[in-house]
Structure 1
Amino acid sequence: MTTFTTSIIPNKQTFAKVDKPHKLNYKAICVFVATGFFLDQDTYWEDELCLKPASTHNLDTNGILLNSKPSFKWHYSPRDISFNQVLEEYVALLTDIIQEQVKDNPVILPLSGGLDSRSQALVLSKMSNPVSAYSYSFQNGYPEHKISKKIADVCDFDFQEFSISNGYLWDVIEDLGRINKCYSEFTHARQMAVFKPLSDMRGVMSLGHWGDVLFDKGAPSNITEDTKVSYLLKKMVKEKGFELAEKLWQTWELEGDFKSYLRTRVEDIVSKINIDNISAKVRAFKTSQWAHRWTTTNLSIFEAAKPITLPYYDDRMCKFICSVPERFLADRQLQIAHIKQHKALASVTWHANKPFNLLNYNYNKSPYNLPFRVANKASREISNMLGKPFTQRNWELQFLGKENDNKLQSFLFSENFKNLVPQEVTSYFYNQFKTDNAIVYAHPLSMLLTLALFHKQNNL
């Protein structure tokens, strides 16, 4: 027998067999296309499970899961403590974790215009490890790398900028499917566009994933015990992904209806989180589901290039969060206060509140932000007039234009894929995307592409 324990937020997914027939789990696939991630322990297969986080698992000699039991349960146990005391503890903990994780290795730091990687940059700037920072922007998109470069310059890090080019996906999609096993759709994995230069960089990666969820409110104050599931479903479900899921549910002649099935599944998971505070309860749900089944899936791409470290994934960080009063976690207060200890770093634009920074973001409202909004809109319109459409979303680089369309159709309308998804279903969503509904239909189109590659790579 093999026994092992998964972390509170595992940095990789572990799969195990169960004693069931080897056939597709159609209900789980419907949830996947509606939300973009598999729920709880679901996988593509009836006889395979993704092992739960924060649990001890026993497997027999054939890799069959015998049983699992929790090794940690999310809780909300706020201490009677001041904000400044919490801030001091947070900074010390983040520093200790990063130092322990990177040791004396050179560090590769992906930088964005947000707060998580900037918090890491502040800690790393006080260490002796050489740091190579990088960032990327969409071709013909907002130059976020310029914000990242300013952060790197303030911290005296080496810096590389990358452009995510049009149509990069088609050269790497087969490799991407093998890396993430098609457990996440492909238009979010921008790092695949720069996989080779990342592989050539020296050091271990320090990734800031999930800090934005841990260090913010889990839910707005108006969410109640009675409305929490509806709130979660609204956050989880993509409108047209739900439409695709319903069509597949009917096509595959599954019992009951998809809407009731999904709601029951979410209600069941939430009911097992024994926390009264709604914000903390929702954060625990998001972390055990989104982080584990979506964010962690995409970490596999970074790990295929370099060893990875994740300070916000550390068990100690999760346990710390459980002891912090919710009023201190809301609105990124701790991260902002930490970064404001370095005035030059805080003065760099905060992407979510551009063109303002951490010292003046409270002015990101009318009339103070009107000049930027007008100039930004004019810049996009001029770019469009010049035949260089402004890119805001990754799928625009992969699905728009004739060459991209030809590649996309080669997967969606392959002869074998019809065995899983009828062509009339695929054609409906493809045509909706093409007839001025691209923004809302990009998600189901991307999910169909993911299923098509899964179908191909598994020789179904």
Structure 2
Amino acid sequence: MPTIKTPIIPIRQTFVKIKGEPEELDYKAICVFAATGFFWEDSTYWKYQKVLRPGTINEIDEDGYLLSSKPWFKWYYKPQNQSFDASLKQYEELFEQIVDEQIGDQQAILPLSGGLDSRSQAVALHKLGKQVTSYSYSFQDGYKEHQISQQVAKACEFDFQAFEIPPNYLWKCIDELAEINQCYSEFTHPRQMAILNELEKMSGVFCLGHLGDLLFDEVGKNKKNADLVYIKKNIIKKGGFLLANSMWKSWDLDGDFESYLDDLILKSLRSINIENKSAKLRAFKCLNYVPRWSSINLSVFEAAHTITLPYYDDRMCELICQIPEEHLANRKLQIAYILQNSHEVAKITWQDQKPFNLTNFHKNKAPYNLPYRITDKLKRVLNEKTGRKYIQRNWELQFLGKENEKQLESYLFSQDFKTFLDASVVKEAYHKFQNENQVYYSHAVSMLLTLSVWWSKLDKKKVNF
């Protein structure tokens, strides 16, 4: 009888069966998936199949049925009475220790962005003397994020490659992506699929910065709403509620979707015994959003090479529970770490605060930022007048244009998909995407595409309608 102990933040989903549950589709869970982009807690497409929860010890029988599950870790908040410098020292020592242990004497493959997480890793890897291959990508006709990344790589003396994410790539690899993520995440976020072949040519192990922005910042800044309202506002995707509500009604499910979702959120919140609002909301995300969304997309990296994740380490999660929230807020620890260990890297543009960097980002306000804002606005206006669309999101490259529309509609309106979801639901969401607000309804269209691909690959003999 195997025993499985899950990490505080699981990297992969571990599926088990539940005795007594029918082998039927879990339509309610699928509605939540459509609204938020991820399955909640331990839910899957099926009622009888679940995913092992984070931070638990589980007994499984030989047939894959879950016999028992009990937590070995619960999120808490017990801040140490210490100075910021003491917190910084704790973070620096543990972060570098974890990076050193995970990479060892292997070559590190570091995806670089214009933000702080990968920049922190770059500083640590350079300080530790690791061999590093780095890369970055930008959207075709979008912001050239790789220009910032290249400066970081140069400052740390890393090899560097720049890639451009082209339009229409999704249709060439959609079946492979569905196999990789098992349709547990929609298809337009993991843009690394566009360069998977190039990533496979690299040597080494990935050093990924996922989760850093959640652990090392205040959650719910300036939050005035109740926890339920805040969470719904932040986890329900634009257009997601409309789609989920329409699906719920088309399947004639008991009750109503919003009440069902509210109960899920409140149940999860009640299970977290933390009074500090930021720490509690962080724990909520780490129990739901991170393992069921962020971790799913890690599978694309893992399809190319072994992955390492410093911020996923159990010890890092334990440390966060003991660091005062005021030391975590506004990315202060990460900023101080970079400033202390590489002033050259700190002076490179911080994308979220462009054109400012870690030494002067406090000036990102009027009148200091007016010259940049005016120039940036003029560039955008000029692009619009010349008919050149400025690309900010991956779905714009994959959904817009005649060729994309042809491919997309072949999935959304296939005869096979109509046996799963009423065509009127699909038509309503797609019509709103095309004619009302593409940004608002792009998520709904992406979720419909994901569900269509999942349904097309499903053995219908297993489905109990």
The Cα offsets for residues 323-343 of structure 1, whole Å up to 9 and x where unpaired, read as: 001110111000000111111
CA distance in 2, matches of 1:202, 1:213: 29
Matches within 5 A, 1:347-366: 347-366=347-366
Secondary structure at the residue paired with 1:186?
coil
Report what 1:195 is aligned to: 196
Pairs within 5 Å for 1:171-190: 171-190=172-191
TM-score, length basis structure 2 = 0.97
In structure 1, C-alpha distance between the alignment counterparts of 2:372 and 2:129, rounded to whole Å: 39
Q: Deviations over 1:292-343 (max 9, x none)?
A: 1000000000001110000000000000000001110111000000111111
| 1:13-92 alignment, distance < 5 Å | 13-19=13-19, 20-92=21-93
Cα distance, 1:99 vs. partner? 0.3
Match of 1:270 in 2: 269
Q: Find the residue that maps to 1:449 and give its secondary structure.
A: helix
Match of 1:290 in 2: 289
Residue number in structure 2 paired with 1:405: 405
Partners of 1:378 and 1:436 in 2: CA distance: 26
1:179-328 equivalence runs, <5 A: 179-223=180-224, 227-328=226-327
Unaligned runs of 5+ in 2: 461-465
Secondary structure of 2:23's counterpart equals coil
What's the secondary structure of 1:340's corresponding residue?
A: helix
Task: Give a deviation string over 1:95-154, Cα, whole Å, max 9, x none.
Answer: 000000011000000000000000000000122321000000000000000000000000
Cα distance in structure 2, aligned partners of 1:21 and 1:58: 21
Aligned residues of 1:94 and 1:311 also touching (Cα < 8 A): yes
Residue-by-residue CA offset, 1:174-230 (whole Å, 9 max, x unaligned): 100110011111110101000000011000000000000000012235457xx1121
1:68 alignment partner, SS class: strand
Q: Deviations over 1:359-386 (max 9, x none)?
A: 1111111221121112112222323333
What is residue 125 of structure 1 aligned with on the other side? 126
What residue in structure 1 maps to residue 463 of structure 2?
A: none
- Sequence identity of aligned pairs in percent? 50
The alpha-carbon deviation at position 235 of structure 1 amounts to: 0.6
- Which amino acid letter does the alignment assign opposite residue 74 of structure 1? W
- The alpha-carbon deviation at position 437 of structure 1 amounts to 1.1
Structure 1: unaligned runs, 5 residues or longer: none
Provide the C-alpha distance between the structure 2 equivalents of 1:353 and 1:277, rounded to a whole number of angstroms.
Answer: 28
2:347 touches 2:357 (CA, 8 Å); kept in 1? yes
- Determine the C-alpha separation between the residues in 1 that align with 2:422 and 2:248: 12
Amino acid at match of 1:220: K
**TM-score with structure 1 setting the length:** 0.98
The equivalent residue for 2:335 is 336
Tell me the amino acid that sits aligned with residue 407 of structure 2: K
Check conservation: 1:111, 1:118, Cα contact below 8 A.
yes
2:223 touches 2:230 (CA, 8 Å); kept in 1? Answer: no
- Contact (CA 8 Å) 1:7, 1:53: kept in 2 or not? yes
- For residue 332 of structure 2, what is the amino acid of its counterpart? Q
Q: C-alpha distance in 2, partners of 1:90/1:141?
A: 35
More displaced stretch, 56-65 vs 214-223: 214-223
Q: Distance in 2 between matches of 1:374 and 1:43?
A: 48
Tell me whether 1:156 sits opposite 2:157 in the alignment. yes
Give yes or no for contact 1:223–1:278 (8 Å, CA) kept in 2.
no
Q: Which piece of structure 1 moves more, 387-396 or 265-274?
A: 387-396
Q: Which amino acid aligns with 2:445?
A: L
Q: Mean alpha-carbon deviation: is it higher for 311-320 or for 432-441? A: 432-441
CA distance in 1, matches of 2:344, 2:129: 20
In structure 2, give the amino acid aligned to 1:435.
Answer: N
CA 222–440 in structure 1, closer or farther in 2 if over 3 Å, else same: closer
**Residues 1:61 and 1:459: Cα distance change in structure 2 (over 3 Å):** closer
Q: Which residue of 2 aligns with 1:4?
A: 4
| Structure 1: distance between partners of 2:224 and 2:212 | 22
**AA paired with 1:37?**
F
What is the letter of the counterpart of residue 324 of structure 1?
I
Instruction: Tell me the residue number matched to 2:414.
Output: 414
Partner of 2:139: 138
Equivalent residue pairs, number: 458
Q: Separation in 1 of the partners of 2:406 and 2:208?
A: 35
**What letter matches 2:233 in structure 1?**
K
In 1, distance between residues paired with 2:209 and 2:221? Answer: 24
SS at match of 2:137: strand
Distance 1:407 1:221 in 2: 43
User: Structure 2 CA distance, aligned partners of 1:185 and 1:366?
Assistant: 39
